[in-house]
Each structure stands twice: as C-alpha cells, then as structure tokens.
Amino acid sequence: MFFKDFVLEEFGNFNNFVERKYVLCESAFTRKGKLSLKAMIKYPLCNRKKTTSIEVNRFLRNELNDRGVTITKQAISEKRQFIDPIVYIDMNDSFISKIYSRQDEMASFKGLHVCAIDSSIVEIPNTKLTRKEFEIPEKTQPKKNTSSARISCMVDTHWDFVISSNLTNKKVNELTNAMIHLDDAKDKIDLKKTITTYDRGYNFTELMVKTIQLESYFLIRAKKSTFKKKQSVMETKRINDATFRITLNKLKIDKFNSEDVKKYAEEIRNINVRFVKVKLKNGTIETLLTNLPKEIATPEELKHLYGDRWKIETNYDRLKNKLHIEKFSGKKKIIIEQDFYSHIYLFNVLIALKHDAEQQITRKPKETTKYKYKYKTNINTLIGNIKEEMFRLLTDDKEEINIAIQDILDIASKDLVYTKINPPTNEEREKIKYYHKKCKSNLQDSF
C-alpha cells in the first residue's frame, strides 16, 4: 500500500485549515502584516527546534521571500496565542481518516486492526507560568525539580500511525485518557474491527465495559491480583484458557467515571471475559484478559498480539528523541499544545513516507549463518528532509508538492540502516554477563 497520494492530498488541502474558526480573538489577523493567519498555522510545522530567534527569522524570510525582513520572537509568540491548537488535531484527524478509509488494506490480523494505548511523561518548561497553567503544585526548589505533563496515544502496532493523542496534566490517569482515545477513534477507524491492547495499569472493569459497548475488542495484561479468585480456579484446575462471567454489581458500577458506561452496565449487569495464561521465554506465566472469541485468536496468537504492544514505546522514543517533541518553543500552555499536536501530525506524515520509501528499497541486506537482516529507511535523515522541504510542501502548487515528496522518497529509499529480522532471545542475552548491570528495567519480564 502506498501512502504518497494521501500525503499529497493532505498538503494540497492545507488552505482548508486556514480558517477564522481557529482564531481565538475576533480582532486578531484582521489587518495585513508580516504575520498572517496562514503563516502562524504553518510556523509550528516548520520549526526545526533550533534557537527561537533563529527559527523565527528563518521562517519569516522563507515565508515572505525577503532575506532582509526581521521580527522578534516575542512578536511571533504573541500572535501564536490567538491560534487554537485544535487546528492541528483536525489536520491529523483528516489525514488518519483518509488512510483508514481503506479498511481492508489497513487490517493486520484476520481482518482486524491491532492498536495499543499507553501514556508517557514529558518534561515541560519549568517556569511559574507553565506550572500554573498545567496546575502543577509549586515546588520549594523549582531549580532542582522539573515540571512534567502526561502524553497519551493510541497507536496502530502494525502501521505505527498515531490514531489519537492527548496532552494533559500528569494527574489525569491512564484510564481517563484511554476512554478519551476510544471515543475519539470511533470517528476515524472501525472499532468493530479493532483490537486494543493495554498493560497492567489498565485492569479496569469500566474499560472492558466501554469496549464491549463500542462492539470492539480488548486485550489486557492482568495483574496477579486482578480477578484473583478466577485466576486461582484456573491454577487449581490447570486450565490455560477459560471464559468467566464477571458480575457488574452496584459496588463496581458506582466506581465508574462515565455516566454513559454506568447506564450501559446497569442494563447488561454482566460481561464475559476470556482468561488466557501464556508462558514467557523465561518461564514466567502471565494472564491475558480479552473478549476475543477462541475461534478468532488462539492463546499463542494472543501472546504475539500483546507482544507487538512494545511498538508504542518505539513511537514514544521517536517522538522524544527524533522529533524532539519535548523541546517546546514557548512557556504558555497553548503554545505547548500547538507544538505537541502539530508534531503528532508531522509524525504520521513521517510514518506514511517511511512506509513508501521502504517499499522502494531494492538493495539486498547481508546475511550470516545465525541472523538475517533487512534494510530500513534512516529515520533521522527522513525527518531532516521533511523539515527541510516543509516550505515546498506547504505551498498552493500541487505539482511542487508532488516533486518535493518524490525528492524526499528518493533520498529515504537510498539512505538506509539495517536491522536483525530475528533478534536474540532472552536465553541468548543472558549468556552475556554484563547485560543486566546498567539498567534494572532489563530484569523485568517481557513478551
């Protein structure tokens, strides 16, 4: 499947998002000046995360095609406060909806999409203004304590696209974010053909009920204390795959946050949950909870589906260490949100072009007696080229956009890195004596 056409259409329709409905002040952008509404919406997309004053003047000179024009960073920061970050959410929603309109081609497991929901903590500017707007308690020693927020994403574990994202106060729990993602995603992908995976922190009955209400599927890695009696029954009877009826009594329902889910739970009064015990490479037994029927997924298939969940961590690494999403260009919450949501949109464009570039690779990787390798696009180079060509991509000339996209793809299909198709198993890694010394997290059980 090629995504180039979607990228071309999306950038070609950029002017559709240059609308007054995204302006937060009626008097803003009513006069002709250096900084137009279109320029202000484009700026976060063109920002290369360099020094603000350098970025501001580089952007303006390219935008106005005037090498002598200058402006202060305070001026552009003031104008950005009038732009609603929702414009970048709408841009991303438009892009994702177009891609997933071709449902059959996007399916990755027996006609189903497989997604993962998880959150991560990001550092935000450690200033009094930022802490106040994100409702972070004042620190006694602000110079020694960083400020942080929570980002949460719903990611396709096969295609890597971020279907839904959210930036909130760190106090907003993972369950709340997950419920938001499910409501958001139902307008972009077919949730009836979607499996969503969750880690131990999402062992919530409310989330299961919400997913069943949406006629969708869940796959959750359970804690040992989750439905402990039912897990004990399986151990006693030595059963690895069993379905139990979970009663939704008043005590459980009263703990639900969503009034809509509460009402639905009161109607159905119980749900059927499949408990599946799987064995990890190191011998540890884990329990997976799902509503997927046995005829759709075997225990071994469920194990592999959950194992693919690690890819969401790869995406967080790309966002933080490749796109440098934590290098926010302002202290105000509205500017931080603009930076975040514009880079989620750019990330999806990046992933789309990455897939296309890798389909154009003709070079054969080396092989050894132990491992096979495959070539992939150098994502650092791809990001740099997209940022460099952003002014060509955000023009009104579709032919120029097409040429710019092809130039990016040509370089991305030739600047490559290679990776192992079959990485070492846990047993192979344990032979290396120093493997666990540096990071305690390497000792954790893993799929």
CATH number, residue 204: 3.90.350.10
pLDDT for residue 220 is more than 50: yes
| Together in a domain, 145 and 223 | yes
Q: What was the pLDDT predicted at 138?
A: 75
CB 111 within 8 A of CB 68: no
| Together in a domain, 306 and 335 | no
pLDDT for residue 434 is more than 60: no
pLDDT bucket at 202, cuts 50 / 70 / 90: confident
Q: What is the chain's Cα-based Rg?
A: 24
Distance between CA 204 and CA 209 in Å, rounded?
9
| Together in a domain, 115 and 159 | yes
| Together in a domain, 231 and 115 | yes
| Together in a domain, 204 and 300 | yes
| Domain span including residue 344 | 4-85+328-420
- Other C-beta atoms closer than 10 Å to the C-beta of 361 total 16
If you average pLDDT over each of 38-42, 281-285, 426-430, which comes out highest?
38-42
pLDDT bucket at 319, cuts 50 / 70 / 90: very high
Tell me the HSE value of 258 on the side-chain side, using a 13 A CA sphere: 23
- Among 141-145, 189-193, 243-247, name the one with the lowest average pLDDT: 141-145
Each residue's pLDDT tens digit, 101-130? 988 889 889 999 999 999 999 999 999 999
| Together in a domain, 54 and 167 | no
| Together in a domain, 288 and 157 | yes
CB 203 within 8 A of CB 220: yes
Last residue of a domain, one of 291, 315, 339: 315
Classify residue 412: in a domain, yes or no. yes
| Together in a domain, 145 and 226 | yes
pLDDT bucket at 144, cuts 50 / 70 / 90: low
Question: Considering the chain, what percentage of its residues have pLDDT values greater than 70?
Answer: 92
pLDDT for residue 74 is more than 60: yes
pLDDT bucket at 141, cuts 50 / 70 / 90: low
- Among 9-13, 129-133, 375-379, 425-429, name the one with the lowest average pLDDT: 425-429
Q: What was the pLDDT predicted at 439?
A: 41
Classify residue 446: in a domain, yes or no. no
Q: What was the pLDDT predicted at 440?
A: 41
The CA-based diameter of the chain, rounded to the nearest angstrom, is 79
| Together in a domain, 30 and 138 | no
pTM: 0.90
| Together in a domain, 107 and 45 | no
Distance between CA 301 and CA 282 in Å, rounded?
18
**Which of 351, 350, 329 lies closest to 339 in space, CA to CA?**
329
CB 216 within 8 A of CB 194: yes
* Residues constituting the chain: 447
| Together in a domain, 345 and 292 | no
Run of H or E including 147: strand 147-156
Classify residue 95: in a domain, yes or no. no
Classify residue 71: in a domain, yes or no. yes
Tell me the HSE value of 324 on the side-chain side, using a 13 A CA sphere: 13
Last residue of a domain, one of 315, 350, 385: 315
Classify residue 157: in a domain, yes or no. yes
Classify residue 273: in a domain, yes or no. yes
Q: What was the pLDDT predicted at 186?
A: 92
Tell me the HSE value of 323 on the side-chain side, using a 13 A CA sphere: 25
Classify residue 397: in a domain, yes or no. yes
Averaged over 202-221, what is the pLDDT? Answer: 92
pLDDT for residue 443 is more than 60: no
Averaged over 266-285, what is the pLDDT? Answer: 92
Q: What was the pLDDT predicted at 145?
A: 62
| Together in a domain, 21 and 121 | no
Alpha helix ranges (H) inside 216-332: 228-237, 250-254, 259-268, 299-307, 311-321
Classify residue 92: in a domain, yes or no. no
In the chain, the number of structural domains is: 2
Average pLDDT taken over every residue of the chain: 89
